[in-house]
Structure 1
């Protein structure tokens, strides 16, 4: 089996496409494997609209970055034809290894999207040796595609919270569908408070849902959130999430401990003795302190 046939199998090429030639450039840095993809002269290509077999009208050469071949950067080059369809006129043929408008193969984009779920885009850019600006285009394409397909007709229970996106007072508010077991995040917006709730309501309506269908909202005790929820989600009941309830109780217990410590001498290790839950193991010192307190 020739090298071109092996590469064609690896790329999953189907007729009329095949690997015409391959060249490993070891003089450049990083080293590059160049694969030329083409078809036999005179073959017919499917119309991207109707699939009819059509003759090539003209050609234009494109190059796509592919997954590395061992340590070598790999690029696919092909002269992609425009066909002259009787019904749809002159149109550029769609290649099976890349989406329209992208200069990366589908497999390369798949790896990028897997990596950006686990690490920052800048880190992925360094790893694959592509600028982060180009990777952001990939991310935005697939995120926009996923958002466009989002159906919120059955949205009934929502959880929301703000989180810092970077140092300083820079926040984003994240919304999740509490009934989803996988990929629960459905919306995120810069800022916090009532503006974020208003944007989320518009987003729900744009995706087939309605704020009046939401019957439960889980959030913290932020006055801005609570007033906005009352305004935007008129049918919803508010549930304060357990983290913030526990946080309040913990602070109250610690405040009482501090007050008593000013009035009487408390055993050593008292702070964590009273703050630790019963399910967490206490040290011997904390156990002794608990015995003294009771």
Structure 2
């Protein structure tokens, strides 16, 4: 039997043909020393095996109900924004509204929650892309390679459109394109099978030509209006991503994990941040910070 016990971080991944996953979790020294838990630095660990090796085997996931904040490490009764305590949810820049809606970035107004964090994470090259996870969608990422973001979303194919110099600029263009097509993935469709075929190159070229006819004014830190600049990418063909999947779940069912509800089922696939079982699926990212015992029968 293989057992991993700790607080979930996420499923780390590498490669695209196929994607290979590892279980990522953390433990805390104060608990090991049997001290009163408080703000503490996480001791991060990874499974020694790839989760791909467990396909076709029965997995059991059990939680004792404990949750620790992914930002500061202190215990919390409730997880906010997939892994934060209320204090970090309220004060950390990575939990601000502009993370979900980057076009609302207010750094230029001098009101960023953590300006130094903003300079480091938001003011670097971002890519606007099209992906096919449950159908055509638009998204943005600073990930290098861009495929890291596509894997997290469970996309089967993806292609970059353009690059800009900040997250806010990427968000402005994404928000505009979201008026024509989705910016969200349907997890129900994503765990049912491959999405319908879409000519991403054709769609990319069509929308880039459209963007070339538009101007995107934005306010700078001096309160003046400037035009957003973007650069078209020179990648011609979509990238395909292959996931470790024996079959898809028989039911479109979201498994819930709690002190009273454990999960015990045969693992049939992994896609995005979802573990796919014979009779349902679970989004591991939504349980960030939860203490989970991962057992392979």
Normalising by structure 1, report the TM-score.
0.27
* Structure with more contact order per residue of length (Cα contacts < 8 Å, sep ≥ 6): 2
Higher helix share: 1
Normalising by structure 2, report the TM-score.
0.26
